[in-house]
């Protein structure tokens, strides 16, 4: 996985620096445009980002994550497509064996050919040494899904990714 994956298969980069103490306070008080840009790095749906930014301030991280989940569940097919268009299939670190790089690229290509969007999976509970196997197994398994079933699985994985990215964005740690 790429060095920045931190338990995720695809990672956005926050537009405002909120990882210092008071991250939630800084997020709550950021200008609307900056907050939305940071949220778009968590999930590429403009409607999702606008909704979360518009409902600030959040009293605590739990309230923010609950709002993010609710907004994720309300994504339309167009919102989901917009968010997925912002995702990319991650490569392994350049020092990974060539065979692993090739296997991952081939698996992503097969998935993207079938479903017409990047493969997303949240790896927050997976050890870094097991991530490649988890991604390859996930792709193999999900290639057997029908389009509607895969859309539901993908939406849930995207929700989990957005939630993890959002928690990281407002983390009260340096």
In this predicted model, what pLDDT tens digit does every residue of 98-147 receive, in sequence order?
A: 898 899 999 999 999 999 999 999 998 888 888 899 999 999 999 999 99
The pLDDT-based confidence of 12 (bands split at 50, 70, 90) is very low
CA distance 166 to 119: 20
Where, residue-wise, is CATH 1.10.3330.10 in the chain?
A: 90-159
Identify which of 42, 20, 4, 7 has the alpha carbon closest to the alpha carbon of residue 127.
7
CA R_g for the chain: 16
89, 10 Cβ separation under 8 angstroms: yes
Q: Domain 90-159: state its class.
A: mainly alpha
The pLDDT-based confidence of 173 (bands split at 50, 70, 90) is low
Q: What is the pTM of this model?
A: 0.82
CB atoms within 10 A of CB 87: 21
The residue written with tokens 């290639």 in the block is 143
The share of the chain scoring above pLDDT 90, in percent, equals: 70
């Amino acid at each position: 996985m790429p060095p920045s994956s931190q338990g995720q298969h695809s990672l956005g980069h926050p537009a405002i620096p909120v990882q210092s103490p008071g991250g939630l306070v800084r997020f709550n008080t950021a200008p609307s445009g900056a907050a939305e840009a940071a949220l778009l790095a968590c999930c590429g749906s403009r409607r999702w980002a606008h909704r979360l930014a518009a409902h600030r301030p959040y009293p605590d991280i739990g309230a923010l994550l609950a709002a993010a989940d609710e907004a994720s569940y309300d994504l339309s097919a167009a919102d989901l497509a917009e968010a997925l268009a912002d995702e990319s299939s991650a490569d392994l670190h350049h020092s990974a064996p060539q065979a692993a790089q090739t296997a991952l690229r081939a698996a992503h290509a097969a998935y993207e050919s079938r479903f017409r969007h990047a493969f997303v999976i949240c790896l927050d509970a997976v050890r870094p040494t097991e991530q490649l196997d988890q991604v390859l197994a996930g792709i193999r398994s999900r290639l057997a899904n029908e389009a509607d079933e895969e859309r539901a699985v993908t939406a849930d994985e995207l929700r989990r990714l957005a939630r993890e990215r959002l928690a990281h964005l407002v983390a009260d740690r340096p």
